[in-house]
Structure 1
Amino acid sequence: MRDFPSCFGENGVQIADASSSSGASLATTTTNSTTNKIAQNLVICVYQCRLHSTSCFIITITWTKNLMGQGLCAEINDLSNQSLCKLEIKPSLFSKRRGLKTSKMGSKSINIFWDLSCAKFASSPEPIEGFYFAISINQELILLLGDMEKEVYKKMNYAISHSPNTVFISKREHIFGKKVYATTAQFCGKGQVHDILIECDSISSTSEPCLLIRIDGKMVMQVKQLQWKFRGNYTILVDGLPVEVYWDVHSWFFGKLTGNAVFLFQTCLSAEKLWGSGHQSVFSWSGSLIKDCGQSQGFGFSLVLCAWKNE
């Protein structure tokens, strides 16, 4: 990133109680390879989960939604990317809304518990309350999602001596709108869940489009003359942590009708590590992130948003 000249610079904006940050430079990236595909309403969450015996796993949870209902896919991989277990609940009126799946992989006994029968949803296919989803390996709980912990412990029917050792690595989500796109994200550990609002509009009827990003209602980023600055990066602070924001809205202006913009919020890994390999898209990068995070103690959280325009 330091090899590219800075095209514009503005002060960073702080959320919470840390000092302000600065610096923004134009990032180069290739056009998103999925512009010709039909947008799907989905959220992909990736977790690093560790047994207290130090064994480590990467768990990918995909929440989907269509006219038939909610869907869920969960896959457990080891750090060599070998799949240990997979659960798929397709969006259907007849899908099991609660259940238990047990499988064996070598010496590992894997149990997956879920109950979505009373789950509540907002606009996202990811439930917000009234559910649980849990995974245990060799009778040790490694992942627990939802707000029904007591029901999980009762269902598992054995003592829980430790809370799950889980790190939320990344979230990838498709969001939809005409000029405004909204989602939520938790950038660190058990920190605050923040509301993220992305707006693309003209400042006046005669001016060029402008990109605004707000977190918890506070404007943290503004990019004017967006048709000229359709790719770039900018640093903000959230919960006292530096968060690098990358955007690529080229497809909104110059792509096909099915094109989408891509936004990346990254809390830890440096810009050089993310983009130093040259012309690399967010999507080609995101797959390698999972592998890198599984081998690193210093990884942060990443949020990748695919923003589709509803004309």
Structure 2
Amino acid sequence: MRDFPSCFGESGVQIADSSSSSSSSSSTHKSAHNLVTCLYQAPLGRGGCWCLITITWTKNLMGQGLGVSVEEGSTNRSLGRLDIKPWLFSKKKGSKSLELGDSKMDVFWDLSSARFGPSPEPLEGFYVAILFDLEMVLLLGDMSKEAYRKTGTSLSRSNTLFVAKKEHLFGKKMYFTKAQFCGNGKVHDIAIECEMVGLNDPCLEIRIDRKRVMQVKRLVWKFRGNHTILVDGVPVEVFWDVHNWLFDPAAGNAVFMFQTSLSADDKLSPWSCSQVFGEAQRHSFSLVLIAWKNE
């Protein structure tokens, strides 16, 4: 798979091609594990323009890190980027500003009390607030009151849409993450299980909140495919590509994508996500998971 933000910059993401070739080094694999990328579509100023905001959470031996980049929605032209260095050597709360042509972006963050799981993305005890021309367009985290007080803004309805998320997972046969498939809906636990060792006929299972929603038998013949499940009453198209797990263990990864499908017109072709962006009422969300097998 190509780099996640650039894929959506072209309004699509190919997942038939796995995340790396068999020539990738194990160090590259490990660095990729500590990366979560989220993509948002947000209004830019008051002229009816919109932009893409990419939030990147990272983790390495030096500590945690946060990156914010902005692209113009209609042209995918980069408008700017802010990087907050690993927190071992920088403040865990603060603010930075960036000029975006005729607009100004302010980023406020407080991660001093943030709590983390295995992922570099914090679970709770934090906020990240992004303002365009002193108007809040994106607020992440559970400390909203503190964010509004710090930024001097008031609670307002935001037209920002959570478009996509890419996350790297690793394990021996079990892979876990969480996802929110629609608006302010429930956050669901996702589990992917696939046992390869010593099995002539490996099987793939996917569970949502501990309930099995999908099972793929004869995986050697069905190493790529797609299947529709229902989550919160919304159709979700699940794509999988476990070719590397079966036939190229040196590459080490498999690719899974969960794509909400709100209407028949949003139905995807087997290996591409086209028309990621559209009208809000037809908005769809994509979750891309890169699963690496531990040695």
| TM-score, structure 1 as length reference | 0.80
Which has the higher mean CA deviation after the structures are superposed, 78-87 or 218-227?
78-87
1:155 is paired with a residue of what secondary structure?
Answer: helix
Tell me the distance in 1 between the aligned counterparts of 2:80 and 2:285.
Answer: 24
Counterpart of 2:122 in structure 1 is: 127
Counterpart of 1:299 in structure 2 is: 283
Tell me the distance in 2 between the aligned counterparts of 1:305 and 1:101.
Answer: 31
Please state if 1:148 is matched with 2:134: no
Q: Which has the higher contact order (CA 8 A, sep 6+)?
A: 1
The verdict on how the C-alpha distance between 1:224 and 1:69 changes in structure 2, with shifts beyond 3 A counting, is same
| TM-score, structure 2 as length reference | 0.84
Please state if 1:103 is matched with 2:98: yes
Q: Give deviations 1:160-196, integer Å, cap 9, x for gaps.
A: 2513222111111000000000000000000000000
Please state if 1:226 is matched with 2:219: yes
Of 238, 242, 246, 1:253 maps to 246
2:66 is paired with a residue of what secondary structure?
Answer: strand
Report how far residue 295 of structure 1 moved: 4.3
Q: Give deviations 1:27-50, integer Å, cap 9, x for gaps.
A: x97442523432212111111112
Of 104, 114, 117, 2:112 maps to 117
Of 18, 38, 53, 1:32 maps to 18
Can you give the 5+ residue segments of structure 1 that lack an aligned partner in the other structure? 1-27
Tell me the distance in 1 between the aligned counterparts of 2:124 and 2:261.
Answer: 29
Report how far residue 205 of structure 1 moved: 6.4
Counterpart of 2:77 in structure 1 is: 82
Corresponding pairs, count: 271
The answer to whether the Cα contact below 8 Å between 2:202 and 2:220 also exists between their aligned partners in 1 is yes
The verdict on how the C-alpha distance between 1:264 and 1:78 changes in structure 2, with shifts beyond 3 A counting, is same
1:43-192 equivalences in 2 (<5 Å): 43-50=36-43, 53=46, 54-79=48-73, 80-91=75-86, 93-157=88-152, 159-160=153-154, 162-192=156-186
1:165 is paired with a residue of what secondary structure?
Answer: coil
1:128 is paired with a residue of what secondary structure?
Answer: strand
The answer to whether the Cα contact below 8 Å between 1:68 and 1:91 also exists between their aligned partners in 2 is yes
Tell me the distance in 1 between the aligned counterparts of 2:15 and 2:113.
Answer: 42
Tell me the distance in 2 between the aligned counterparts of 1:162 and 1:206.
Answer: 55
Tell me the distance in 1 between the aligned counterparts of 2:35 and 2:148.
Answer: 29
Report how far residue 62 of structure 1 moved: 0.8
Tell me the distance in 2 between the aligned counterparts of 1:179 and 1:154.
Answer: 45
The answer to whether the Cα contact below 8 Å between 1:184 and 1:196 also exists between their aligned partners in 2 is yes
* Backbone CA RMSD of aligned residues: 2.4
The answer to whether the Cα contact below 8 Å between 1:75 and 1:87 also exists between their aligned partners in 2 is yes
Report the AA paired with residue 257 of structure 2. L
The answer to whether the Cα contact below 8 Å between 2:201 and 2:218 also exists between their aligned partners in 1 is yes
Report how far residue 84 of structure 1 moved: 2.2
1:208 is paired with a residue of what secondary structure?
Answer: coil
Report how far residue 105 of structure 1 moved: 2.4
**Larger gyration radius, structure 1 or structure 2:** 1
Counterpart of 1:19 in structure 2 is: none
Report how far residue 259 of structure 1 moved: 2.5
2:276 is paired with a residue of what secondary structure?
Answer: helix
Q: Give deviations 1:103-155, integer Å, cap 9, x for gaps.
A: 22232121110111111001111101011101101111000000111111111
1:64 is paired with a residue of what secondary structure?
Answer: strand
Counterpart of 1:22 in structure 2 is: none
Report the AA paired with residue 214 of structure 2. M
Q: Once the two structures are aligned, what percentage of the paired residues are identical?
A: 54
